[in-house]
Amino acid sequence: EVQLVESGGGFVQPGGSLRLSCAASGFTFSSYVMTWVRQAPGKGLEWVSAISSGGSNTYYADSVKGRFTISRDPSKNTLYLQMDSLRDEDTAVYYCARGRALIAVLMPFDFWGQGAPVAVSS
């Protein structure tokens, strides 16, 4: 059974940092593109970042480029999102999700974690 479990969410002041983790199980982690999607309170879905199956290629939404860093550790089957210079507008539930097909980058997301809440406020 595919499982994605996020952790590391919490409360942080503007300008602060936070690192989210997503522990994956039930599939060959190193064979799939992984991604982060967020949802601000009462709002829709916003893609944040994606990383290729091997970890060598990363992609970011313009709203987080230069502030967030996605990475993955195949030895731990874990996906990360390092969030720096956080702003009020980064407040959201952050979901990790798996690309649907092996290796391919341009794919929808077929499995999602339960989400990690992040609150940025002074």
Partner 1 sequence: DIVLTQSPATLSVSPGERATLSCRASQSVSGKLAWYQQKPGQAPRLLIFAASTRATDIPARFSGSGSETEFTLTISSLQSEDFGVYYCQEYSNWPPRYTFGQGTKLEIK
Q: Can you give the three-state secondary structure of the chain, one letter per residue?
A: CCEEEEECCEEECCCCCEEEEEEEECCCHHHEEEEEEEECCCCCEEEEEEECCCCCCEEECCCCCCCEEEEEECCCCEEEEEECCCCHHHCEEEEEEEEEEECCCCCCEEEECCCEEEEECC
Is 109 near partner 1 (CB under 8 A)? yes
Question: What is the distance between the alpha carbons of residues 77 and 23, in angstroms, rounded to a whole number?
Answer: 6
Is 40 near partner 1 (CB under 8 A)? no
Query: Binding residue for partner 1 (CB under 8 A) from 5, 12, 61, 119?
Result: 61
Nearer to partner 1, 17 or 57 (CB): 57
Nearer to partner 1, 44 or 66 (CB): 44
Nearer to partner 1, 29 or 36 (CB): 36
Nearer to partner 1, 78 or 98 (CB): 98
Q: Which of residues 75-104 bind partner 1 (CB under 8 A)?
A: 95, 100
Q: Applying CB under 8 A, which residues contact partner 1?
A: 35, 37, 44-47, 50, 59, 61, 95, 100, 105-110, 112-115
